[in-house]
């Protein structure tokens, strides 16, 4: 017994384990509570971020080359398809503009200031992605200096992809909705059913096997159908209203048969993100 | 007369390039690597460390210290959760080095040791993350959908880079 405890290696291993668990607990706690990581970590991340651009920029350049060639080959078919949609789009756009103007006027008349829908965008490029199978995180090239704050929603292409988890001076980490961690952000979302009844709820988990966002604990009796659009509801916090999330893919009962569980197909492709915009509420 | 660049410089520069390539490859090929439901994770950082343990002089290169430093940067920059890879990286390097010295130095034994190294790296990383609720706590899903594809990908990387890296260390002895 004496020899067992005097073994130097064992002591080192135990000390390392204790330090490891201590650090892990502290950093998870910081991530959940504080708006920015400690200054030293921020400083280190900024430096590494700068160095990373030396490797990431040429690599992204190579990818752009490949993507452009691929796009060139598909151009003809795509052009045919898009032409048919353009007329429709112009019409919608004009209507949208008119409605927006009308909305603004009405708001002014009623003395309503900014509502939940108003937001501005900060555009950023993705530098790199965390090489890990469960931490679905990307690192973007804008940080505190550009006005980004923790928990802001991030949009790529058609819809919502995640929230800001950690802000440094010149880069920040975005946790995607596909992150399955227990403490990852839960969005307040809503579904407008076919009979224009609104179902409110939050994203409760993510089904990584099928690439579906899961919205749970729905007790509303409103009828939902496959293909209904899902958007953020703007309730509770910094996320503006009306950011497109995806469409309803499947409606199921939860484990106890009391509430409904809705599987949502995300609008944005979570595995092909190059440019993102961070939404800042007015 | 031209002075030769010492191997330590190659090692350190290559280390950081491998580190950043990890992230870049994950980002660029994310459509392929993260095809549902499987996920493949490139571990080039670890590969560079293990290859240095195979061919280089670990005392002269300060291999364990570098493994810890790179592990710390990995935690800080990529995952944001400190205290995971800072200990796992040196441990895996130590295990791989001890095993490789017991076996006859050949590609096959390198392959075998690397296989074990990546398995230990991924499993310990999974356990640590499962403890703090960052990873889904389903071990069978991890084994089938993460570990197996990751091993396949990284063994391909090893097969490609084993001989060039060996030549590099041989010529700069």
Average pLDDT over residues A203-207: 83
Q: Does B34 score more than 60 pLDDT? A: yes
Domain with CATH 2.40.10.350 in chain A: 188-266
Which of A251-265, B33-47, B110-124 holds the top average pLDDT?
Answer: B110-124
Asked whether the CA dihedral A61, B166, B155, B122 is positive or negative, the reply is negative
Distance in angstroms (rounded) separating the CA atoms of residues B95 and B53: 10
Position B99 scores a pLDDT of 92
Q: Please tell me which residue, A244 or B4, carries the higher pLDDT value.
A: A244
Range of the structural domain that residue B75 is part of: 7-171
Higher pLDDT, A35 or B87: B87
Question: Of A242-246, B23-27, B131-135, which range is least confident?
Answer: B131-135
State mean pLDDT over A241-269. 85
The SS3 of residue A216 is strand
Q: Please, which residues have CB within 8 angstroms of residue A92's CB and are 6 or more apart in sequence?
A: none
Q: How confident is the model at residue A1 (pLDDT cuts 50, 70, 90)?
A: very low
Given this model, what pLDDT does residue A269 score? Answer: 85
Confidence of residue B150 (pLDDT cuts 50, 70, 90): very high
Domain count, chain B: 1
- Quick one: fold of A119-181+276-281? Thrombin, subunit H (2.40.10)
| Cis before A143 (ω within 30) | no
Q: Which residues of A touch B82 (CB under 8 A)?
A: 23-24, 26-27, 41
**DSSP track, A165-194:** EEE-SS-EEEEETT---TTS---EEEEE-T
A124: phi then psi, degrees, rounded to nearest 5: -150, 155
With respect to residue B2, please indicate whether it lies within any of the assigned structural domains.
no
Q: Do B61 and B7 form a contact (C-beta atoms < 8 A)?
A: yes
Q: What is the DSSP letter of A116?
A: T
pLDDT score at B95 = 92
The per-residue pLDDT for A2 is 52
A68-87 pLDDT, tens digit per residue, is 887 788 888 888 888 878 88
As annotated, the residues of chain A forming the CATH 2.40.10.340 domain(s) are: 119-181+276-281
Q: What does the pLDDT read at residue A3?
A: 56
ipTM metric: 0.86
What confidence category does residue B156 fall into, taking pLDDT thresholds of 50, 70 and 90? very high
Say whether residue B77 is in contact with chain A using an 8 A CB cutoff. yes
Which positions in chain B touch A55 (Cβ < 8 Å)?
17, 20-21, 24
Q: Does the CB of B23 have a partner CB in chain A at under 8 Å?
A: yes
**Res A182 pLDDT > 70:** no
Pairing of β A212-218 and β A260-266: antiparallel
Looking at beta carbons, which residues of chain B come within 8 Å of A127? 23, 27
Scanning every residue of chain B, which has its alpha carbon at the shortest distance from the alpha carbon of A30? B81
Whether B17 and chain A come into contact, CB under 8 Å, resolves to yes
In a domain, B23, yes or no: yes
Residue B93: what pLDDT? 93
**Span A188-266: which CATH code?**
2.40.10.350
- Per-residue model confidence as pLDDT tens digits over A224-253: 888 888 888 888 777 888 888 899 998 888
**Pairwise CA distance, residues A210 & B109, whole Å:** 38
């Amino acid at each position: 017994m004496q020899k067992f405890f005097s073994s130097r290696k064992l002591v080192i291993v135990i000390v390392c384990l204790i330090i490891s668990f201590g650090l892990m607990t502290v950093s998870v706690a910081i991530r959940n509570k504080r708006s920015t990581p400690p200054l030293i970590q921020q400083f280190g991340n900024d430096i590494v971020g700068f160095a990373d651009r030396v490797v990431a920029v040429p690599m992204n350049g190579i990818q752009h080359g490949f993507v452009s060639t691929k796009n060139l080959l598909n151009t003809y078919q795509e052009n045919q398809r898009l032409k048919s949609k353009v007329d429709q789009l112009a019409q919608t756009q004009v209507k949208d503009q008119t409605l927006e103007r009308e909305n603004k006027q009405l708001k002014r008349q009623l003395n309503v200031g900014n509502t939940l829908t108003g937001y501005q965008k900060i555009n950023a490029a993705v530098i790199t992605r965390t090489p890990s199978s469960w931490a679905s995180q990307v690192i973007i090239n804008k940080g505190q200096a550009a006005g980004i704050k923790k928990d802001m929603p991030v949009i790529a292409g058609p819809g919502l992809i995640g929230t800001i988890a950690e802000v440094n001076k010149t880069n920040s980490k975005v946790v995607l909705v596909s992150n399955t961690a227990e403490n990852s952000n839960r969005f307040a979302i809503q579904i407008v059913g076919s009979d224009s009844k609104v179902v409110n709820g939050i994203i409760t988990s993510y089904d990584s096997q099928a690439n579906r966002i899961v919205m749970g604990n729905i007790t509303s009796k409103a009828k939902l159908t496959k293909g209904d659009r899902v958007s953020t509801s703007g309730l509770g916090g910094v996320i503006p209203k009306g950011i497109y999330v995806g469409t309803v893919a499947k409606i199921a009962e939860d484990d106890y048969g009391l509430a409904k569980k809705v599987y949502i197909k995300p609008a944005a492709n979570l595995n092909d993100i190059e440019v993102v915009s961070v939404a800042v509420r007015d | 007369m031209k002075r030769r660049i010492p191997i330590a410089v190659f090692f350190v520069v290559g280390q950081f390039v491998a580190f950043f390539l990890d992230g870049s490859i994950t980002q660029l090929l994310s459509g392929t690597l993260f095809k549902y439901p499987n996920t493949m994770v490139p571990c080039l950082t670890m590969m560079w460390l293990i290859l240095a343990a195979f061919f280089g002089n670990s005392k002269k290169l300060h291999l364990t210290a570098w493994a810890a430093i790179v592990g710390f940067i990995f935690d800080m920059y990529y995952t944001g959760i400190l205290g995971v890879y800072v200990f796992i990286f040196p441990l895996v390097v130590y295990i791989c080095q001890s095993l490789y010295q017991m076996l006859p130095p050949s590609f096959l034994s390198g392959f075998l040791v690397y296989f074990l190294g990546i398995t230990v790296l991924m499993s310990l990383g999974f356990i640590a993350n499962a403890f703090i609720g960052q990873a889904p706590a389903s071990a069978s899903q991890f084994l089938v959908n993460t570990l197996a594809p990751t091993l396949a990908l990284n063994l391909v990387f090893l097969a490609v880079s084993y001989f060039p890296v060996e030549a590099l260390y041989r010529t700069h002895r």
